[in-house]
Structure 1
Amino acid sequence: MTAPADPQLLLDQAVSRLTGPGGPFEIVEEEVLGTIMPVMKNRGHAIGELISASRAWGDGDYLVTSDRRISFTEHADSVAALATALRDKYGVRKGDRVGILAANTPEWVMTFFATQALGAIAVGLNGWWVPREVTHGIELSRPKVLVVDAKRGAALPELPADITVLTMEEDLPALIAEYAGSDVPSTDIDEDDPAVILFTSGTSGRPKGALHSHRNVMAVVDYHKYSDAIGAAFTGREYDASKPSPLRYLLTSPLFHIASLHNLVVPRLATGSAVILTEGGFDVDKVLGLVERERVTNWGAVPTMASRLLEHGNIAKYDVSSLTAFSLASAPSSPAFKERLKEQVPFARNALVDSYGLTECSTAIAVAVGAELEEFPGTLGRPIITVSMEIRDPFGEWLPDGIEGEVCVRSPFVMLGYWENDEATESAIAPGRWLRTGDFGVIENGRLRLTGRRSDLILRGGENVYPTEIEQTLDEHPDVIECAVIGMPHPDLGQEVSAVVVLRPGAATTEAELRDYAAERLSYFKVPSKWRITSDLLPRNATGKMVRREITV
């Protein structure tokens, strides 16, 4: 039988075959936390299940760095030993938190899975935080054990006496050796039990901990398996879930982000795919060298990395012919930027994918593939499988297609809530488990187009930066009366953080002094790079609220 030539017809047939009754990804409706919604029938229920199952992939590559190669078997053995050590030596039990504060390393991944085997909650602390921010994250999550790399360990703030600190370079290898040969601990897990805390900035200031369940993360795993099956249908490959996937994924974003953790290292343990970790700062030559050496097939990058590729100018000296999928995420990019990418970067011409997602949603909300980007420039595509999306007005009422409003979503990917922050959770999750994203857009031709990001959000090189946190920090300076932090366009980063600071009469504080003051208290990417120091008060409306649109730097 000849396959249909129409790509849309081919897609529809593949979706029907895969998700219909009896299909491997059959969709049914079930109750999730009191709300009926679509879910996959044949789903996994606990992240820890993936560890023992991954032994089926044997000696194949799982984690690869510039100088290390760790197989699925070696990884499972290490995770079993480390989980046993955390349980028997440090008393970690179900529901306890294990903090991870480190750059990307195989040990980061091992610690995460060891935590999941125990039913404990992995807390991905931002590795770029300064001590004050680390203190907030630790005080909020109260981990029983904190695993750090040497660099972060040397800069730790004072910690409560009941927190055990383990180092990745020395303590973890010693524990893995001491408990070698252990079985993976077995823990009774409900799929709606909490599993992970990842931090997201909030409009109220300090970072909030988005709490993800086993259901959330395992739904992401199944989504990626399904995507692999769809990809196989389009490329004529046979999809067999019992065989390891030949795809090889490049990891260039931090593991404390959903893009790298939930959507890369976890699903690839389930599919038998290799994950190629870059370590240290982003370097185009180092990355392209890894692509060539490891025959990388898939890469999800933030637009800033793509911009570095455009600047590089000599991609042709590397063999990047293995790359067949190149996606942009974590920050918006214009249609013009995508066109430049396709013109100048060989592997982006036929492989470019764009998406929209939030930490609170665990994965993408909508995805646009190459053909859609051509036909509907500026689109972020259709909702992914099991995601329901609506545009709503300020009163929470549904709006028809073509009318701008707030993007609201419901799915098995939506977080449980914010860790120990009921007020923020109630504000974010409406009745019926609808997540208010705070982003604004319209639905056109069934596809999402964003018209405005969260009102004050600054998207700097893939990092979400909320002005309130920076403003509150600068307001603590004795010479500052008030200030406003806004995002200004930047050709490389997308936006740069800019500040207007109103000083007290007679104050002589300089831009350099304010920059140093902020740098001591905030991560580098939150420190304003543009400043305007003034004695004129900021514009405000009749209710006293700052009018940001009238502020310029």
Structure 2
Amino acid sequence: MTNAIDLQALAAQVAAQLTGPGGPFEMTVEQVLGAPQTVFANRHGSLLELLEASRELGDREYLVSARTRYTFAEHYAAAGALAAALAQRYGVGKGDRVGILAANAPEWVLTFWAAQRLGAIPVGYNAWWVPREIAYGLEHSTPKVVIADGKRAALAAETGTDIPVLTMETDLPALIAEFAGGHPRTAVSEDDPAIILYTSGTTGRPKGVVHTQRNMVAVADYHRFMDALSAGFRGQRWDGSPAGRRYLATMPLFHIASLHNLSIPRLTTGDTVIFPTSGEFDAESLLALVAAERVTNWAAVPTLANRILAVDLSKYDLSSLTAFSLNSAPASPALVQRLRERFPVALQGLTTSYGCTESGTAATVATPPELAADNETVGRAVVGVSIEVRDPEGKVVPDGEEGEICVRSPYVMLGYWNNEAATAAAIDENRWLRTGDFGTLREGKLYISGRRSDLILRGGENVYPQEIENVLDAHPAVRESAVIGVPHEDLGQEVAAIVVVDRPDSVTEDDLRAHVAGQLAYFKVPARWLVTAEPLPRNATGKVLRRDLSLGE
């Protein structure tokens, strides 16, 4: 523990040098949207400024797939040409929406940057949506044009929309060639919308989360700060020079993990983003890609991490991999421990974090030393983030007490597109985001209990599924689990568990019940069980679709 404390003190010292007066990431307090907020003092005013600066990175690779490879110079030219085409051919201007409906591909990112040249607002639609959901998205955000891959263009056509739909495979190359040399520029303000991404929609209809130019530039600066912090921690000088890292993007671009926190910051750090071929998201193919492209950094959802552990890792040359992180959905301590035991990079590079679409980037990060010392925490607040845990009346609770996690930072969303009521419910007058997640702060470290919407009310007792799931996932026979509340005439709700195992006949309900009862209070022990080999239903970002769970009775 002494070592962990010493490391934390050193990190705090380096961070203070970077963010203090005169530091490269000096922090200051400014009025933002009517409330005081801590921001980076020396910052770019827009994403377009970041794009312009990227020209200097020249022939370094930026975006890579099996079909397309863009250097920074090639990307800069193509984004300019596409922006000119959208403006001149389709009348796209400042504030207009440009829909993006596609699986991960370099052209997705290219379209995002082209829209920034026009002051337009790219809208990242969920690539898993069916025509009915696509129709909702088009009606809700009313794009002037949609850019889609071939598969999703066909789905969009089924909606009967009269909005022009351009294909990435055919239309974009032709437009880029036709409008080569174009580089339109449109001035924007820091708090103008820069992107709309839709929430997972695990309950009700998806909401369009709006992030501003300020939000997106700040996220990029946060990643640069983390590079500087890492260098300082090792006693090295940081000057912002490209480090030659190669990032594997296995989470969807319509989610902040791959867009805000991977593809956009790499434009500022000079690193490469590698996209697997659409559909090749099995562990074997991804491990082969890591070896072939010499991937150095990889962020994955816990589900994919579980699948990696089922593979014979000795068949692949993973020596290039230096960092591995878990994102988007909570990881159980048992999974973290299994990764350390079987996945070499996890011994040194494993991190985990906490955040949501609305927070823009991670609100907290647990560094490898912190996670090694305490595998239940999701870490401490990142630079620029303030965190409070509040009771139902909105009052801050004492250290160690449970409540709703609230976040304020320059990364937090502007609000929900065309939904003032939902925005007012999520963000208060001082720009604090109510996350809807429950947890505790203990000595600066955050611990997650679960979602408010997942809370089970059993006879007056609050039961959080994640606590029980963490215990179940530690059982050697259990691959994954989900705990839900089911109606009960006397208690209101009782606790039920769906447990996924390789062989349902290898473990009994009594075994599992005894396992939980040995570690948790009686009222948290599931009363009803389903033991199955069928995986849990999940959305595109790895979150369990609890509304689709049932005991099959």
Note whether the superposition's TM-score is higher than 0.5: yes
Shift of 1:244: 2.0
One-letter code of the match for 1:446?
G
One-letter code of the match for 1:158?
T
Give the aligned partner of residue 49 of structure 2.
Answer: 49
Give the aligned partner of residue 146 of structure 1.
Answer: 146
Give the aligned partner of residue 343 of structure 2.
Answer: 345
Shift of 1:337: 1.2
Given the superposition, is the C-alpha separation of residues 439 and 362 from structure 1 closer, same or farther in structure 2, using an over 3 Å criterion? same
Give the aligned partner of residue 452 of structure 2.
Answer: 454
- The answer to whether the Cα contact below 8 Å between 2:359 and 2:412 also exists between their aligned partners in 1 is yes
Given the superposition, is the C-alpha separation of residues 222 and 394 from structure 1 closer, same or farther in structure 2, using an over 3 Å criterion? same
Tell me which moved more, 173-182 or 41-50. Answer: 41-50
The equivalent position to 1:398 in structure 2, one of 396, 399, 406, is 396
Structure 1 position 427 matched with structure 2 position 425: yes
Aligned-partner Cα distance in 1 for 2:354–2:249? 19
Aligned-partner Cα distance in 2 for 1:486–1:134? 34
Given the superposition, is the C-alpha separation of residues 331 and 46 from structure 1 closer, same or farther in structure 2, using an over 3 Å criterion? same
Give the aligned partner of residue 34 of structure 2.
Answer: 34
Deviations 1:464-506 (A, max 9, x none): x9x9xxxxxxxxxxxxxxxx999845469xxxxxxxxxxxxxx
In structure 1, runs of 5+ residues without a counterpart are: 468-483, 493-517, 534-552
Aligned-partner Cα distance in 1 for 2:286–2:201? 32
Aligned-partner Cα distance in 1 for 2:338–2:56? 42
Deviations 1:239-266 (A, max 9, x none): 222x223221111111000000000000
SS of 1:346 mapped into structure 2: coil
Tell me which moved more, 406-415 or 318-327. Answer: 318-327
Shift of 1:456: 3.0
Structure 1 position 213 matched with structure 2 position 212: yes
Give the aligned partner of residue 320 of structure 1.
Answer: 318
Shift of 1:451: 1.3
Matching of residues 47-446 of structure 1 within 5 Å:
47-156=47-156, 157-161=158-162, 163-183=163-183, 185-202=184-201, 205-241=204-240, 243-281=241-279, 282-312=281-311, 314-446=312-444
Shift of 1:67: 4.6
One-letter code of the match for 2:285?
K
Shift of 1:530: 5.8
- The answer to whether the Cα contact below 8 Å between 2:202 and 2:545 also exists between their aligned partners in 1 is no
Aligned-partner Cα distance in 2 for 1:102–1:308? 24
Aligned-partner Cα distance in 2 for 1:212–1:223? 15
Tell me which moved more, 286-295 or 362-371. Answer: 286-295
SS of 2:140 mapped into structure 1: helix
- The answer to whether the Cα contact below 8 Å between 1:82 and 1:172 also exists between their aligned partners in 2 is yes
- The answer to whether the Cα contact below 8 Å between 1:117 and 1:187 also exists between their aligned partners in 2 is yes
- The answer to whether the Cα contact below 8 Å between 1:103 and 1:279 also exists between their aligned partners in 2 is no
Aligned-residue identity in percent: 54
- The answer to whether the Cα contact below 8 Å between 1:60 and 1:272 also exists between their aligned partners in 2 is yes
Aligned-partner Cα distance in 1 for 2:291–2:224? 25
- The answer to whether the Cα contact below 8 Å between 2:203 and 2:547 also exists between their aligned partners in 1 is no
- The answer to whether the Cα contact below 8 Å between 1:77 and 1:180 also exists between their aligned partners in 2 is yes
SS of 2:195 mapped into structure 1: strand
Give the aligned partner of residue 16 of structure 2.
Answer: 16
Tell me which moved more, 6-15 or 131-140. Answer: 6-15
In structure 2, runs of 5+ residues without a counterpart are: 456-464, 470-481, 485-493, 503-536
SS of 1:104 mapped into structure 2: coil
SS of 1:331 mapped into structure 2: coil
Given the superposition, is the C-alpha separation of residues 34 and 489 from structure 1 closer, same or farther in structure 2, using an over 3 Å criterion? farther
One-letter code of the match for 1:265?
S
Tell me which moved more, 256-265 or 44-53. Answer: 44-53
One-letter code of the match for 2:72?
F
Aligned-partner Cα distance in 1 for 2:501–2:129? 25
Given the superposition, is the C-alpha separation of residues 104 and 491 from structure 1 closer, same or farther in structure 2, using an over 3 Å criterion? farther
- The answer to whether the Cα contact below 8 Å between 2:210 and 2:414 also exists between their aligned partners in 1 is yes
SS of 1:228 mapped into structure 2: helix
Shift of 1:202: 4.8
User: Aligned-residue CA RMSD in angstroms?
Assistant: 2.6
Deviations 1:96-149 (A, max 9, x none): 000000011111111111011111111000000111111111110000001111
Aligned-partner Cα distance in 2 for 1:527–1:275? 32
Aligned-partner Cα distance in 1 for 2:232–2:499? 41
Shift of 1:286: 2.0
- The answer to whether the Cα contact below 8 Å between 2:132 and 2:159 also exists between their aligned partners in 1 is no
One-letter code of the match for 2:84?
T
Given the superposition, is the C-alpha separation of residues 66 and 171 from structure 1 closer, same or farther in structure 2, using an over 3 Å criterion? closer
Aligned-partner Cα distance in 2 for 1:128–1:49? 32
One-letter code of the match for 1:77?
A
SS of 1:146 mapped into structure 2: strand
SS of 2:345 mapped into structure 1: helix
Aligned-partner Cα distance in 1 for 2:94–2:331? 41
SS of 2:454 mapped into structure 1: coil
- The answer to whether the Cα contact below 8 Å between 2:199 and 2:209 also exists between their aligned partners in 1 is yes
Given the superposition, is the C-alpha separation of residues 386 and 527 from structure 1 closer, same or farther in structure 2, using an over 3 Å criterion? closer
Shift of 1:221: 0.2
Shift of 1:54: 0.6
Shift of 1:321: 1.5
Given the superposition, is the C-alpha separation of residues 486 and 44 from structure 1 closer, same or farther in structure 2, using an over 3 Å criterion? farther
Shift of 1:376: 2.2
Aligned-partner Cα distance in 2 for 1:446–1:531? 37
Aligned-partner Cα distance in 2 for 1:308–1:8? 32
Aligned-partner Cα distance in 1 for 2:37–2:546? 42
SS of 1:245 mapped into structure 2: coil
Shift of 1:8: 2.9
